[in-house]
Amino acid sequence: MVKILTDANFEAETKNGVALVDFWATWCGPCRMQSPIIDELDEEIGDKVTFAKMDVDANPQTPSQFGIMGIPTLLIKKDGVVVEKLVGYHAKEMLEETLGKYI
């Protein structure tokens, strides 16, 4: 199941293994297109990757800390370190290929 992150739990939930965090907002059209892809990937490879979402309107501190200026933005972290920052909508195949480098 895709985790819902907040400013308070972001570091704790993304410090171990590989994590993909989807920074989004309810008013963002491309975010609504990206969300089902994140859900599909979670069902398929959620045992290898932690999938999480963070609403940027409700949690402004973390997006600011990582310089997130546009959404959707996907951060991929490995063992607590950001290894990829993907801005905009990304197709499932591209995300599978990118995540494959880290799992």
pLDDT in tens, 1-50: 999 999 999 999 999 999 999 999 999 999 999 999 999 999 999 999 99
Class of domain 3-96: alpha beta
31 catalytic per annotation = yes
Q: What is the pLDDT of residue 102?
A: 97
How many angstroms separate the CA atoms of 84 and 97, rounded? 12
Annotated catalytic residue within 18, 19, 21, 28 = 28
Q: What is the pLDDT of residue 6?
A: 98
Question: At residue 41, what are phi and psi to the nearest 5 degrees?
Answer: -60, -40
Annotated catalytic residue within 20, 31, 49, 56 = 31
Question: At residue 17, what are phi and psi to the nearest 5 degrees?
Answer: 70, -155
pTM: 0.96
How many angstroms separate the CA atoms of 78 and 18, rounded? 4
Mean pLDDT, rounded, for 54-78: 97
100 catalytic per annotation = no
Q: Which of 47, 97, 56, 55 is nearest to 76 (CA)?
A: 97
Q: Which of 4, 27, 33, 23 is nearest to 82 (CA)?
A: 23
